[in-house]
């Protein structure tokens, strides 16, 4: 690419006059979301398989509770359901039991009960001691006041001393008015008095996005798909690294039967089921039409330990196997053959592989880890391109990385002031992935402090418009910034470890943030405010000033001749603009998509739609005036040739 040298255009202050002369093609920059935090999104039962808990410890039961006198204990089963799942729930029915006796699970801070859905419920059971018992086992959904919305029953038999699977569907007769509901499992107390039953691997799923097994929650998946994202960065972020070597993410622990997935202690203090495994991720990407940017574990975990160089070979091989699972040939690779056996013989699309995450925390060892991983992986996969994760060129590592992943969490002021961050970067072949960025606090001296100290709980119009100002710089420098993603992507509002996030949710609803609408509007290779309004050509204009109050970027779809003018006002005062479009013919009207709010406005569970984009028609022409309201992102689309 020819270097962009837009700084040579001169700049009127305050009143921005945008001259739009000749066009030049630029690389399309992709905006999307990142999977830096993995949160179960569809599976309804929390602690479904007692993965990675300490048997007998009472916390091993959380959040299961006994119903009507049953005694519950998580045990290390002498005959577990699988070697990956050594623990079972042992349920003892008291000898004087009567009525319905059993246990229940309140889900991930609630369960949505919808009468238009059919739920799939599944569990494994066995009797540790053989008996002549035969009785009814009932599963169902009930409210916290005991109203039963759905139930289904089957017969279980005391002669069943090996593990048996039960699959029952649940069709609620009515929808619940709130999500304070539980899944319950019960036996007839008088029939089962004195009996002990072991249970393992429960599963409860509503319908999923595109009806995929172990798939995504439909409302969350549709919210993400509506951004028209170009890519999804996964499986981390920190998620790949592990808090320790033993708890690092390993692809082969996340594929195949759920009984073969041990789960892992995740990096944010809760156990990951790994029900959302490598295949489920890849299937989701295909379903949405986005590409993966996939990380491989690169010999470093978050406790600061790096593997020595002479110990790297097995991890390089594991990374090769992970990539082969995605793109390999089933006739030459066992990992690819496994993919084929799981129903996807064709390779998935994969172009970018990231080697590690945030390896600026272990720069010393990255000087050998980068060359060893990059050397071996690029030899094995010459069609792929690899991303380094130290600070760009600091330290200098060899071979020179083709791409760097850059992360930044900062104040709104930082993002506005750094709208020109990439303008002076040398055009020397290296390109950049803005892999994690978010405006997280107004307190520059205590960015990661509490919300009382300035940390945002949810993106605000101040933080979101600041990110948008920064993003105008990413679009202007899209010849060297090839992709960008806000982080983190998702938070369950009832139990979150980090704020703010792009999209929040609880058991019943999804809450897209103001930053979500900015990302959707962004310059990615798609079409709505910045991801939906994308040209294939960047149009130089007079540039905004570094200390100005207004930021903009202009691109054009050279097929449709739609010109996308994105104007960001990250301060409270409105700003006037005169557009001067140097085209022969400019349509007399265009479309305005406007996201506007006051400084501290956030979309929250309490007021989910406080700020959403609005579309209207706007008078345009070769010259036209526009007033950008305070704290706004405007996208003006006008046809011009």
Ligand X SMILES: *[C@@H]1O[C@H](CO)[C@@H](O)[C@H](O)[C@H]1NC(C)=O
Residue identified by tokens 């982080």 is 487
Grouping H, G, I as helix, E, B as strand and the rest as coil, residue 592 is strand
Window of 32-40, 63-71, 438-446, 575-583 that interacts with ligand X by CB under 6 A = 438-446
x/- string (CB under 6 A) for ligand X, residues 511-530? --------------x-x---
The answer to whether 327 touches 271, Cβ cutoff 8 Å, is no
| Contact flag: residue 385 with ligand X (CB under 6 A) | no
The answer to whether 276 touches 283, Cβ cutoff 8 Å, is no
Residues 6+ apart with CB under 8 A from 78: 128
583: nearest Cα among 537, 629, 627, 632: 537
The binder of ligand X chosen from 367, 430, 497, 545 (CB under 6 A):
430
The answer to whether 404 touches 390, Cβ cutoff 8 Å, is yes
Smallest distance, Å, CB 578 to ligand X?
A: 27
| Contact flag: residue 252 with ligand X (CB under 6 A) | yes
| Contact flag: residue 152 with ligand X (CB under 6 A) | yes
Question: What is the torsional sign of CA 439, 443, 449, 450?
Answer: negative
Question: What is the torsional sign of CA 619, 591, 476, 547?
Answer: positive
The binder of ligand X chosen from 95, 173, 211, 331 (CB under 6 A):
211
The answer to whether 284 touches 234, Cβ cutoff 8 Å, is no
| Contact flag: residue 612 with ligand X (CB under 6 A) | no
Q: Which residues, numbered 98-117, are part of the site for ligand X (CB under 6 A)?
A: 109-110
d(CA 19, CA 419): 19
Report which residue's Cβ sits closest to ligand X: 375
| Contact flag: residue 244 with ligand X (CB under 6 A) | no
The binder of ligand X chosen from 307, 467, 475, 506 (CB under 6 A):
506
* Residue 305 exposure: Cα atoms within 13 Å on the Cβ side: 13
For the CA atoms of 512, 518, 523, 527, the dihedral, rounded to the nearest 10 degrees, stands at 50
Smallest distance, Å, CB 430 to ligand X?
A: 5
The binder of ligand X chosen from 243, 363, 376, 545 (CB under 6 A):
376
| Contact flag: residue 73 with ligand X (CB under 6 A) | no
| Contact flag: residue 425 with ligand X (CB under 6 A) | yes
Both tokens of residue 540? Answer: 């130089």
For ligand X, which is the closer residue by CB, 114 or 191? 191
| Contact flag: residue 379 with ligand X (CB under 6 A) | yes
For ligand X, which is the closer residue by CB, 388 or 534? 534
Count of residues in contact with ligand X, rule CB under 6 A: 58
| Contact flag: residue 45 with ligand X (CB under 6 A) | no
168: nearest Cα among 114, 125, 109: 125
| Contact flag: residue 134 with ligand X (CB under 6 A) | no
Window of 65-73, 165-173, 357-365, 515-523 that interacts with ligand X by CB under 6 A = 165-173
d(CA 44, CA 37): 18
The binder of ligand X chosen from 10, 269, 383, 426 (CB under 6 A):
426
Q: Encode burial over 554-574: b for 16+ CB neighbours within 10 A, e otherwise.
A: bbbbeeeebbbbbbbbbbeee
CA-derived radius of gyration, the chain:
27
For ligand X, which is the closer residue by CB, 372 or 546? 372
Residues 6+ apart with CB under 8 A from 449: 441, 443, 455
Smallest distance, Å, CB 625 to ligand X?
A: 26
Window of 2-10, 330-338, 432-440, 553-561 that interacts with ligand X by CB under 6 A = 553-561
Q: Which residues, numbered 450-479, are part of the site for ligand X (CB under 6 A)?
A: 453-454
To 10 degrees, what angle do helices 313-327 and 363-380 make? 50
For ligand X, which is the closer residue by CB, 243 or 599? 599
For ligand X, which is the closer residue by CB, 16 or 570? 570
The binder of ligand X chosen from 21, 128, 347, 605 (CB under 6 A):
605
The answer to whether 121 touches 139, Cβ cutoff 8 Å, is yes
| Contact flag: residue 534 with ligand X (CB under 6 A) | yes
Window of 8-16, 345-353, 446-454, 621-629 that interacts with ligand X by CB under 6 A = 446-454
548: nearest Cα among 641, 469, 451, 439: 469
The binder of ligand X chosen from 52, 182, 188, 272 (CB under 6 A):
188
For ligand X, which is the closer residue by CB, 472 or 531? 531
Element (H, E) at 463: helix 461-476
For ligand X, which is the closer residue by CB, 108 or 285? 108
Smallest distance, Å, CB 352 to ligand X?
A: 19
**CA angle 468–577–622, rounded 5-degree value:** 110
For ligand X, which is the closer residue by CB, 316 or 350? 316
For the CA atoms of 173, 177, 178, 182, the dihedral, rounded to the nearest 10 degrees, stands at -30
Q: Which residues here bind ligand X, judged by CB under 6 A?
A: 109-110, 120, 152, 167-169, 171, 178, 180, 188, 190-191, 205, 207-208, 211, 213, 215, 250, 252-253, 262, 312-313, 316, 318, 371-372, 375-376, 379, 393, 400, 425-426, 428, 430, 443, 445-446, 449, 453-454, 493-494, 506, 525, 527, 534, 536, 557, 559-560, 598-600, 605
């Amino acid at each position: 690419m020819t270097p962009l040298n837009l700084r040579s255009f001169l700049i009127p202050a305050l009143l921005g006059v945008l001259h739009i002369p000749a066009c030049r093609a630029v690389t399309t920059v992709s905006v999307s979301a990142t999977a830096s935090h993995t949160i179960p999104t569809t599976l309804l039962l929390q602690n479904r398989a007692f993965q990675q808990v300490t048997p007998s410890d009472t916390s091993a039961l959380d959040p299961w509770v006994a119903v009507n006198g049953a005694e519950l204990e998580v045990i290390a089963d002498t005959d577990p359901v699988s070697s990956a799942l050594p623990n079972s729930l042992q349920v003892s029915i008291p000898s004087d039991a009567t009525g319905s006796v059993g246990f229940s699970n309140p889900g991930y801070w609630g369960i949505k009960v919808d009468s238009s859905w059919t739920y799939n419920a599944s569990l494994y059971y066995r009797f540790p001691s053989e008996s002549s018992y035969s009785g009814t086992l009932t599963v169902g959904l009930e409210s916290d006041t005991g109203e039963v919305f759905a139930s289904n029953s089957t017969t279980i038999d005391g002669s069943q001393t090996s593990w048996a699977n039960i699959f029952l569907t649940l069709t609620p007769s009515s929808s619940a008015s709130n999500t304070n509901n539980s899944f319950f499992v019960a036996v007839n107390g008088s029939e089962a008095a004195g009996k002990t039953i072991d249970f393992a691997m429960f599963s409860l799923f509503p319908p999923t996005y595109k009806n995929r097994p172990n798939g995504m929650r439909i409302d969350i998946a549709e919210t993400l798909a509506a951004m028209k994202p170009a890519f999804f960065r996964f499986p981390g972020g920190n998620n790949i690294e592990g808090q320790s070597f033993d708890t690092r993410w390993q692809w082969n622990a996340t594929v195949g039967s759920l009984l073969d997935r041990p789960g892992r202690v995740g990096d944010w203090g809760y156990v990951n089921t790994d029900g959302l495994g490598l295949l489920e991720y890849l299937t989701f990407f295909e379903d949405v039409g986005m590409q993966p940017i996939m990380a491989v574990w690169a010999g470093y975990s978050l406790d600061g330990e790096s593997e020595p160089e002479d110990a790297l070979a097995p991890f390089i091989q594991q990374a090769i196997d992970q990539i082969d699972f995605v793109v390999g040939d089933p006739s030459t690779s066992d990992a690819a053959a496994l993919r084929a056996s799981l129903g996807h013989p064709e390779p998935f699309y994969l172009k970018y592989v990231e080697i590690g995450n945030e390896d600026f925390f272990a720069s010393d060892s990255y000087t050998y880890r980068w060359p060893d991983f990059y050397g071996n992986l690029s030899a094995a996969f010459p069609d792929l391109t690899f991303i380094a994760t130290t600070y760009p060129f600091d330290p200098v590592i060899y071979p020179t990385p083709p791409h760097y992943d850059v992360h930044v969490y900062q104040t709104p002021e930082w993002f506005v002031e750094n709208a020109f961050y990439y303008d002076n970067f040398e055009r020397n072949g290296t390109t950049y992935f803005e892999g994690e960025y978010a405006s997280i606090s107004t307190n520059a001296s205590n960015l990661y402090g509490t919300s009382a100290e300035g940390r945002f709980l949810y993106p605000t119009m101040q933080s979101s418009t600041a990110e948008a100002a920064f993003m105008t710089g990413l679009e202007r420098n899209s010849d060297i910034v090839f992709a960008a993603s806000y982080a983190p992507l998702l938070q369950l509002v009832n139990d979150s470890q980090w704020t703010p996030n792009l999209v929040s949710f609880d058991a019943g609803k999804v809450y897209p943030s103001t930053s979500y609408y900015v990302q959707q509007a962004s310059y990615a290779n798609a079409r709505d405010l910045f991801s939906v309004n994308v040209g294939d050509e960047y149009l130089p204009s007079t540039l905004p000033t570094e200390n100005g109050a207004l930021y903009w970027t202009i691109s054009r779809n050279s097929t449709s001749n739609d010109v996308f003018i994105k104007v960001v006002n990250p301060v409270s005062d409105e700003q006037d603009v005169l557009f001067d479009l140097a085209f022969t013919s400019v349509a007399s009207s265009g479309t305005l998509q406007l996201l506007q709010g006051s400084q501290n406005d956030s979309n929250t569970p309490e007021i989910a739609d406080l700020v959403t984009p609005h579309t209207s028609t706007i008078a345009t022409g070769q010259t036209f005036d526009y007033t950008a309201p305070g704290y706004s992102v405007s996208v003006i689309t006008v046809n011009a040739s």
